[in-house]
Amino acid sequence: MVRNGHLVGVVSRADILRALATRDAPEATSSTDDRALREKVIAEIDQTGTNAHVNPIVENGVVHLWGVVDSDSDRRAVCLAAERMPGVKAVEDHLGRRPPYGA
């Protein structure tokens, strides 16, 4: 460390590692809450009766819906199922539309 052009101290790798090792660990609750919320969202989507193939990803209460649906009404049903779950802060729709059969 240099102050006013004079060496006043040295920071070693051991000092840096010590500082990192004694830091407070990040809270794992949001990860646990997100996993539990994801399971609830999946169960709710399964109850819609749609032929949607959806993989919801939950980050800090925001549900990202990935997958495919057969119709716009299926898309709305899946999004609404996710939105109405307690704990969901927002829903991001990344769903694709499956091409019609025989096309």
pLDDT digits (tens, 9 = 90+) for 27-61: 555 677 999 999 999 999 999 999 889 999 999 99
CB 49 within 8 A of CB 31: no
Its sign, for the CA torsion 53, 58, 61, 62, is negative
Report which of 30, 34, 41, 38 is spatially closest to residue 83, judged by C-alpha positions: 41
pLDDT of 19: 72
| Percent of the chain whose pLDDT exceeds 70 | 83
Q: Is the separation of the CB atoms in 33 and 46 below 8 Å?
A: no
Enter the pTM of the model.
Answer: 0.68
- Residue 96: per-residue pLDDT: 92
Residues 56 and 7: their CA atoms lie apart, in Å, by: 54
All structural domains of the chain, each given as residue ranges with its CATH number in brackets, are: 27-97 (3.30.1340.30)
